[in-house]
Every structure is written in C-alpha cells, then in structure tokens.
Structure 1
Amino acid sequence: MSDLIYPTLDLFLYALKTSLNTTDAETQTNKAAFLAQFPSDTQFNDPDIETEYLEITHPTQITFISHNKTLEGYYYSVRLNDTYGLQIDCSINNQTETQPAKSFAILKTEIEQKLNKELVTIGQTWLLSGWLPENSSQNPEDIAKDCYYALSKDTYWQPEKGTFLDGKVFEIWCPENENYSLHKVTNALNSHEHHVIIAIYPNRESAEQAAEFYKDWMGLFCYRNKIWWAYCQSRLVKESLLNHYKQIEANRKITNQSNSRQEKHNITISRKILNNIDNILQQYTIDLLNLSFQKQIIEINLSNYQLRLALIKEKAGQNNQLDFLEKFSGLANKKYLLQITKDIENMQLGLQLLEDTINATRSRIEVEKYEREHNFQELVAVAGAGIATVSLLKEPVKDCKDIFKQVQPFCKEYPFSFSLIVGIIVSFVVWRLRKRLR
C-alpha cells in the first residue's frame, strides 16, 4: 500500500499579462482570461505598475466550491512583473486517516475542472505532497512513484532527488521530449511537457512548515517556467529565421542562374525579386532581434531563479539538500544561453549574406536600368537623325524633281518615299558610327 495522510495537490500556473509587442487591447484580453479562473464575485486589485510580487485578489486566498464534499481547496494569485501566477490547491479533507496514492488523480480532475481552457499559459508546475503515517515502514520513493503514476499517464520515472524539511523530495521533468510545436509553446497546460515535484514528509509538523514556502515556490517556479518558455520561443524564432533564409536563397539562385546563362531579366521581374528579398529581410531582422530578446528573458529569469533558490535554502536551513534544483540553472546557462548565443552569431552572418544578395540584386537592376535608358537614347538619336534627314530632303526633292526625273523616275513620282529611304540610310550610318565610337 502507498498511503499518505492529507494528500495535497498544488498547480502553479503562469500566464503572460503583457510582452514586448502586446497592445493595450491584447493586455486587457490576457487579463480578462486570467481573471476568468475565479468566481464572478472575486475582488481584484491589479494596478498598472511594475512590481516584483503583488497579490491581486481580496481575500488573498479564495476558497473554491466543490461538489465533492471530501475535497477542499483554494485559489491564490499574484502578479510577478509581466506575468500572472496562479496557485490552485486541492486536498483530501481529512488530516487523520491515510489515503491511497490514487487520490491524486481525483485531485487533478478537480483542479482541471476549475481552469479556463481559453487561458494561454507559458508553463506550469505540479506539486504533490503529504505525510507518512506514524511508524510507517514504506519507502518514500515507492510512494512518490505511485503518486506520479496517479497524476500522469507518463511512465517516465527518473527523478532528481533531495531532502527538504526532513522530507524526501523528487523532481520529474522530461526535457528530452522537446517538441517545439506552436501549440506546445503557446499552451503548456495541454502539452505533454510537464514539471512535477513530489514531497513526502515524515510527519504533520514538517508538512505544515513546508506550506509556509508556497510563496517562495510561486516565484521560483515562475522564473523556471519562463526560462523554459523563452527557450522554446527561441527555437520557433530560429526555425522562422531559417525559413526566411531559404526563401531569399531561392530568389538569389534564380538571379544567379540567369546571370550564368547571360540572360537579361525584365526590369519588372528584377524589381519584384528585390522587393521579395527586401520584405523577407525585414522579417529576418525582426526575428533576429526577437532571438536576442529571448536570450535576455532567460538571463534575467535565470538570475532571479538563482537568487530565489538561495533565499529558499537559507530559509530552510542547512539540513536540506536542494542541489537538484540547481541543476536547472546549469542547464539554462550551459545549454539554453549557449545555444541561443551561437544561433545569434550564425544568423548575423546569414544577415550579412542576405544584405550582400540585396546589394547585388540592386546593382543588377541599376545596370539593367542604365542599359534600357542607354538603348532608348540610341533609339532617339538614330530616329532623330532619320527624321531630320527626311525633313531636310522633303522640300529639296520637290524642287529638284526635274533634275532627277531623267536619272530616277521614282524620285519624281514619289519624292517623300525617296526622302524616307535616304533617312533610313542616314539613320543606319549614324547607328554604325555611334556603335564604333563607344
């Protein structure tokens, strides 16, 4: 039997209130979606000020009503700068008798029924806890494993382990199941990626002392989920950058193939290619800035995560082993930040190549434009010479028709035709001379 007293499930859920490109209307929409989690008569206080930690409901803990009388729970919400944090706590309403590990499935169902499915979240953490009955001989890890299987259908069980307030703590996270689909990144609530912490305490006193750390967990899990979310966002941005680069490469190849065959593009086609590349380059530049922005998000939240974890360790005392929580700091620093830094460097090189492509295409257009204008000037010059010749010969031919009538009857009957022929001959001579002089 895997039995616990007072099994308690807490969901720590996070949603953005505002971001870099969020409009006022979108901010209000995000706010309304978050507040929809609570009963309709809830009183809110969320002023538009920067704040590290602000409780936004009155009262701060709001009891939720359950049709299952064996359950109890509450909502607790805060705003951490640009992010909303929501804790939903649900417990078996019995602090004396043991409960089976499968009780966590009931608690999870109750919590999920309280959620607004329209809320777009950036991450979540499940915290399972309870204490052992007196003189229990059960292995805490076996209990934690059964609790996890009751919560999740996932059979992945390779937890990080530690101790906290004399309790055994297990952390389960599956970062290797990275699937950066848009749905996964924008709605972590419905994704398979999850972060679970299970705490098995030896007695009621330890569990009650641990409950005093909920506010600390609220901040720590927020920073952690924002780091993961920003890294997922960076993968999407990188994918977008690569797609933009491929599109520009396709346009560049068209131009290069035309050059290799010594073909002359229609200037309209060349301008269209240039406009396509220019538009894509603008999006490429925006994405590159966004990639740098995601790196900054990770750096800021990593610093906050480390500070918050240090405070928790200091508050808990020296007899606690929370080093497993520090592993995430190392992962964020050595993998996430390093990967994004290399991506930025590579994409900046790509930006230089794209700018060179635009310059080359623009130069080609200028050459084509010059050749077109030059050919037009040639046409004007040659045609002008011919027209001038026709105009000059028109009247003299009429006046001299008696002289030419014996030599060429055609000139007598058709003086204008004769002038036109002479004009064409002169135009041809002018064209040949201009061609030789170039």
Structure 2
Amino acid sequence: SPRDNRECSEFDPEEPHFLSYPYLANHCVAALFKDTAEVIPLAATGQLFGSPIFEYDNDKQQPKERRHILVWFDSHPETVSKGAEAYYSLLNLLCCRSKIIYAYNQSRRCHEAARNISSQLEQKVEELVQPPEETLEDLEQWLRFIPQKAFQYAKYLRDMEDHSTAITTNMLNYTSMLEKIQTLSLPDDNLAFFQNFLDHNCKQWQKQIEVDLYYLKPSQHLFDQMSSTIRGIIEVKQTESDRNLQKTLQDKEAADKKREKQLESVIAGVGTGLTISGISSQVASNPSKEISPAACQQPNLPFYFACSLVDMFFHIAIAIPVGILVWLWQKR
C-alpha cells in the first residue's frame, strides 16, 4: 500500500542516514512505543561481540514504570555465534540488574515509612518536653502505641539491611556474569556501560542505604527512653490521683462520722427526753388535778380533754429541756 511504501522508504538503505546506527536504534525504540507519548532517552552506547549496542533507560524509580532497552545490531560475523554462547550469561546479568533496581526501590519505601514513624516520635518528644497535659488514659494509650511503632520501625530498618544485602549479592552475581561475557568479547568491544552500572549506580545506592541507616538507627533508642519517660509521668500522675482520691475518701469519712455523731446526739436527746417524760408521767400521772382540782372533776368531755392536754404538755415541758441538755452534751 502507499502507506507501507512510505514507512519502508524511511529506512531506505540507499539513504545516507541509514548507515547511522544511533539513528536506526532510535527508530527501533520509537517503534516499540509508537502508541504512547513516552520517550525513552539514550543512556549509553557500546560494542558487544563486534556489533554496536545501545542502551535506553528512563531512570524511573518505580520498577513497574522502569523502561530499560538494549538495541543490539548484528554487524560482525562473530556476533551471532558469540551471542549464542553468552546468552545465559547476558540474561542472568540483566536479571541481576533488575533485582538490584528492585531492591533499591524497596529500600526507599522502607526508608520513607521509617522516617514517618521517626517524625511521629520526634513530635511526641517535643510535646513531652513541655509540662504534659495528657490524662492517664492518653499516656497509657501512647504507652501501648510506642511498642507497636518500635516493632514496625525495627522491621523497616531490618528490611533496609536485607535490601542492601540483596544488592551486594546481586552485584557479585552481576560481576561474575560480566566477567564471563568479557572472556568472550572481541578486542574492540566496549562494555563500559555494563561496568558503569556497578561502579556508579550500585555503589551510590549502597552508600545511600548506609547513610539512611546511620541516621535512622539512633532513633531506636528514643523509643525505649520515651517509654521510660511516659511510665515515669504515669507513676507521678497515678500517685497524685491516688493522693487526691485518698483525701476525698477521708473527707467523706469525716463527714459521715460527723453526721453519724449528730444523729446519735439527736437520738440520745430524744430518747432521754422520752425517758424523763415517762418517769414524770409515772411520778405525777395527773398534774392537772394539782393545778386545778375543780376543773378536772367536772363531769363533761371538754374539761376531760383539757385536763389530758395539760397533763401531756406538762410531761413534754419537763422532757424538752432535759433532751436539749443531753443533745448539747453529746455534741461536745
């Protein structure tokens, strides 16, 4: 079709730029991503088994977004045969490279998570420098929270060390595979970009993890110190709370005793008054007859009730002063 003819004409061997391998390599990479707007930049060039090789890398941090492409041409009689002989070494080398990149990416995630926990801890330390206003419940909640965070923090640091070990192990394997490839290489081969990955990227990443651990590890001691500090604050607050509770109970007990004593005084006064009233009623059962004999002898109901009321008030009048005196004596 006319369209196919136009596409083929773009790579016409008669055109001068067809002899430019970088130009052709760029078109190969563009063809791989022709349906996307992503542009993979050229990272390095070299020569493997007599033929030019081009490395493209977008240097994305996320492994899923990372694009690493090698465009290798066949322009030498020994390229195919030596490539077949070094196939597994080259494949393992690229696998080690991917594992190193993945391990470093995971170490970044652990570092970020550990930094978040460390920031929370430092913020709480700043709060504890000032006089704490938290209640016992708040402090006890923090005391439960700190061991959990300390465990997570230690796990992230351990994982970072594991990722550093994984990088070191895969660097050794990468070096071994590269040496096998180099034993098969031709005198004019240039594998510097393979070696640069070891000398620059890997060593820089290892150093970065080492520095991160250097800054993060001292914070582990803060967890223990903070737990001890909070326990001390809880003990002080608990002592104050117990003291206040004891004082409240003592005040309540004193008030109860006072009310009980007042009640006893009232009961004693009333009881004494009733006793005196009973004695007086036995000694002088009808004092109204002594006061007004003629009135009490009247044979009608009103005079009878009047005399009875006089007798009752007489005995009460004797009992009240005695009861009051007893009540006052009990209050002393």
Normalising by structure 1, we get a TM-score of 0.54
Q: CA deviation at 1:355?
A: 3.2
* Structure-2 residue corresponding to 1:162: 46
2:220 aligned residue (327, 347, 351): 351
Q: Which has the higher contact order (CA 8 A, sep 6+)?
A: 2
Structure 1 portions without partners, runs of 5+: 1-98, 104-131, 179-183, 423-438
Aligned AA for 1:364?
I
CA–CA distance in structure 1, aligned partners of residues 10 and 171 of structure 2 = 35
Q: CA deviation at 1:314?
A: 1.3
Aligned AA for 1:320?
D
CA–CA distance in structure 1, aligned partners of residues 245 and 42 of structure 2 = 77
In angstroms, what is the RMSD of aligned CA positions?
3.7
CA–CA distance in structure 1, aligned partners of residues 10 and 107 of structure 2 = 38
2:144 aligned residue (275, 288, 291): 275
* Structure-2 residue corresponding to 1:144: 25
Helix, strand or coil at the partner of 1:161? strand
* Structure-2 residue corresponding to 1:174: 58
CA–CA distance in structure 2, aligned partners of residues 146 and 210 of structure 1 = 23
Does the 8 Å CA contact 1:227/1:297 hold for their aligned counterparts?
yes
* Structure showing greater Rg: 2
* Structure-2 residue corresponding to 1:214: 87
Match status 1:341 vs 2:210: yes
CA–CA distance in structure 2, aligned partners of residues 276 and 414 of structure 1 = 62
Aligned AA for 1:301?
N
More helix by share: 2
Q: CA deviation at 1:218?
A: 1.8
Does the 8 Å CA contact 1:101/1:150 hold for their aligned counterparts?
no
CA offset digits 1:199-244 (Å, max 9, x no partner) = 1121465224313322112211111111101111111111111222
Q: CA deviation at 1:392?
A: 7.5
* Structure-2 residue corresponding to 1:30: none
CA–CA distance in structure 2, aligned partners of residues 213 and 291 of structure 1 = 33
Aligned AA for 1:412?
W
Q: How does 1:97-176 map to 2 (within 5 A)?
A: 138-152=19-33, 153-175=37-59
Does the 8 Å CA contact 1:102/1:146 hold for their aligned counterparts?
no
* Structure-2 residue corresponding to 1:284: 153
Going from structure 1 to structure 2, the CA distance change for 1:224 and 1:393 (only over 3 Å counts) comes to same
CA–CA distance in structure 2, aligned partners of residues 237 and 227 of structure 1 = 15
CA offset digits 1:295-338 (Å, max 9, x no partner) = 11111111111111111111335442212101111124431011
CA–CA distance in structure 1, aligned partners of residues 186 and 78 of structure 2 = 16
Q: CA deviation at 1:141?
A: 2.1
Aligned AA for 2:39?
T
Going from structure 1 to structure 2, the CA distance change for 1:209 and 1:338 (only over 3 Å counts) comes to same
Structure 2 portions without partners, runs of 5+: 1-6, 273-319
Going from structure 1 to structure 2, the CA distance change for 1:250 and 1:137 (only over 3 Å counts) comes to closer
Going from structure 1 to structure 2, the CA distance change for 1:102 and 1:238 (only over 3 Å counts) comes to farther
Helix, strand or coil at the partner of 1:201? coil
Going from structure 1 to structure 2, the CA distance change for 1:410 and 1:222 (only over 3 Å counts) comes to farther
Does the 8 Å CA contact 1:251/1:277 hold for their aligned counterparts?
no
CA–CA distance in structure 2, aligned partners of residues 100 and 210 of structure 1 = 28
Does the 8 Å CA contact 2:42/2:54 hold for their aligned counterparts?
no
* Structure-2 residue corresponding to 1:305: 174
Does the 8 Å CA contact 1:227/1:332 hold for their aligned counterparts?
no
CA–CA distance in structure 2, aligned partners of residues 411 and 285 of structure 1 = 77
* Structure-2 residue corresponding to 1:194: 67
Q: CA deviation at 1:342?
A: 0.8
Q: CA deviation at 1:253?
A: 4.6
Q: CA deviation at 1:398?
A: 6.0
1:233 aligned residue (106, 110, 117): 106
Aligned AA for 1:207?
V
Q: CA deviation at 1:407?
A: 11
CA offset digits 1:127-179 (Å, max 9, x no partner) = xxxxx99xx9712222222212222354343331221111011112232x43x
CA–CA distance in structure 2, aligned partners of residues 102 and 280 of structure 1 = 61
Going from structure 1 to structure 2, the CA distance change for 1:257 and 1:100 (only over 3 Å counts) comes to farther
CA offset digits 1:35-56 (Å, max 9, x no partner) = xxxxxxxxxxxxxxxxxxxxxx
More strand by share: 1
Helix, strand or coil at the partner of 1:170? strand
Does the 8 Å CA contact 2:269/2:324 hold for their aligned counterparts?
no
Going from structure 1 to structure 2, the CA distance change for 1:399 and 1:206 (only over 3 Å counts) comes to closer
* Structure-1 residue corresponding to 2:286: none
Aligned residue-pair number? 273
Aligned AA for 2:112?
E
Aligned AA for 1:162?
G
